[in-house]
Amino acid sequence: MNTQVAIIGGGPAGLLLSRLLQLNGVDNVVLERRSRDYVLSRIRAGVLEQGLVDLLQEADVHKRLKAEGEVHAGFDIAFHGEVCHLDLAELSDGKTVTVYGQTEVTRDLYDALDAAEATVIHEAENVALHDLDTDNPRVTFELNGQTQQLSATFIAGCDGFHGPSRQAIPASVREEYELTYPFGWLGILSETPPVGEELIYAGHESGFALCSMRSRKLSRYYVQCPSDDDVADWSDDRFWEELKSRLPTADANALVTGPSIEKSIAPLRSYVCEPMSWNRLFLAGDAAHIVPPTGAKGLNLAASDVHYLSRAFIDYFNKGGESLLRDYSKTALSRVWKAERFSWWMTRLLHCFPKQNNFEKNLQSAEFDYLQSSHAAKVALAENYVGLHY
Ligand code: FAS
Ligand code: PHB
């Protein structure tokens, strides 16, 4: 088999890249390790920046998003019972975010790729990258026990944090930057009405909590928990009790609880790999960087990477341009690091750090007091939350 771009990974980054290339006449093949059902069973991000909404419109996969997504013009940040409302539209010259699950974005991309008879190969096992430093890179993989080979002009590593692509860049070339956090997020999905119209981010001495949603009938909640917690130790009742204890009283009293239909613990990490490209390999999304979900940036960074990389491939194949490919890593990393900073800042502001001393606790209080009292501080938070320009 051969193609122009071999895409490893069929998550949002890989599928969106495949769709944008296909719409612009660039032949590509997606190799996904899991089954489609497995990919669609994952519950992850929920907040889309306008940049991602625009990119999904460009990919012509926006119809359900426009019909079912909820446009949000603000959210609350609570800190030890005090509440600061961020009027995003007022603070960011009218920009907003859209609440629409990553699972639905992935489903919409699959539907569009199916309709265009794109080549998305599922359950591709033992994917390996070869000859990246030659003009003929190739990928080998096993399908139904048969070893296959895919030759390509370029390889796009969209295989998430645990995929093989990043490791294919020689260790001598890779610079890795990492922060790990001593806690995770325990998330649940429940068929209950959301506690409010907008998201609530809450910092509390017992830990962080987040009230989000997928629709008016499907709620998504998170509480900070120790990174070594076992989800089996968290009954629904224990979760709801803990969530209520961390919310402002009015929200705790308004909370409608119900059985969880999904419950999982996600670790929190800040991570960046530089460079994001090496010879014929280009990384996009979680394959190259990870952010703590506090700033709702993970999925949205995958989108801006795909924006830059799809343009670079299209320019190369349709006009022979090479500069966008050459500048891809530097361009993408500039936006990645600003999102890493914002996600780290939101995480430090709102979480309890076990080894935190009194000085650091007072810094957190001062940060929140400054946010509450300063229009400039609110503008800075809002412009990062709605998404910096591509
Ligand atoms: P993904 O990890 O989504 O996709 C990578 C794909 O590559 C997967 O389908 C995987 O099966 C495939 N793959 C891996 N190894 C392979 C191999 N060897 N061969 C072939 N395919 C392979 N972000 C937010 O903004 N908000 C959140 O609340 C949030 N919650 C999250 C919860 C969890 C548990 C995780 C892990 C992430 C969460 N994220 C969240 C971040 C998440 O949304 C990512 O940023 C987003 O999925 C990035 O998309 P991709 O880069 O496509 O990576
Ligand atoms: C979610 O709805 O899953 C969500 C929303 C905002 C975040 C993180 C996760 O910052």
Q: What is the mean pLDDT of residues 162-184?
A: 98
C-beta of 305 in contact with ligand 1 (< 6 A)? no
Pocket test for ligand 2, best of 42, 43, 47, 190 (most atoms within 8 A of CB): 47
Q: Closest ligand 1 atom to the C-alpha of 267? A: 34
Residue closest by Cα to atom 4 of ligand 2? 46
- Taking only the tens place, the pLDDT of each residue in 87-124 is 999 999 999 999 999 999 999 999 999 999 999 999 99
Q: What is the mean pLDDT of residues 199-215?
A: 97
C-beta of 47 in contact with ligand 2 (< 6 A)? yes
The angle, 0 to 180 degrees and rounded to 10, between the axes of the packed helices 298-319 and 323-350 is 180
C-beta of 296 in contact with ligand 2 (< 6 A)? yes
pLDDT of residue 329: 98
- Taking only the tens place, the pLDDT of each residue in 23-49 is 999 999 999 999 999 999 999 999 999
Instruction: Band the pLDDT of 81: cuts 50, 70, 90.
Output: confident
C-beta of 276 in contact with ligand 1 (< 6 A)? no
Smallest-distance ligand from the CA of 29: 1
Q: Which amino acid is at 363?
A: L
Q: What percent of the chain is modeled with pLDDT above 90?
A: 99
C-beta of 97 in contact with ligand 1 (< 6 A)? no
d(CA 303, CA 301) in angstroms, rounded, equals: 5
Smallest-distance ligand from the CA of 210: 2
Q: Which residues are catalytic?
A: 72, 201, 293, 297, 385
- The stretches of the chain forming alpha helices (DSSP H) are 12-23, 36-41, 50-58, 63-68, 88-91, 102-115, 236-246, 249-254, 298-319, 323-350, 358-373, 375-386
Q: Taking 90 as the threshold, does the pLDDT of residue 351 lie above it?
A: yes
C-beta of 293 in contact with ligand 2 (< 6 A)? yes
> Across all residues in the chain, what is the average pLDDT?
97
Residue closest by Cα to atom 7 of ligand 2? 296
Smallest-distance ligand from the CA of 198: 2
Place of tokens 């299209």: 314
Ligand 1: distance of its center to the CA of 255 in Å?
30
Ligand 2: distance of its center to the CA of 339 in Å?
15
The pTM for the full model equals 0.97
C-beta of 220 in contact with ligand 2 (< 6 A)? yes
Short-list 51, 3, 52, CA closest to 29: 3
Strands (E), 144-194: 146-157, 175-190
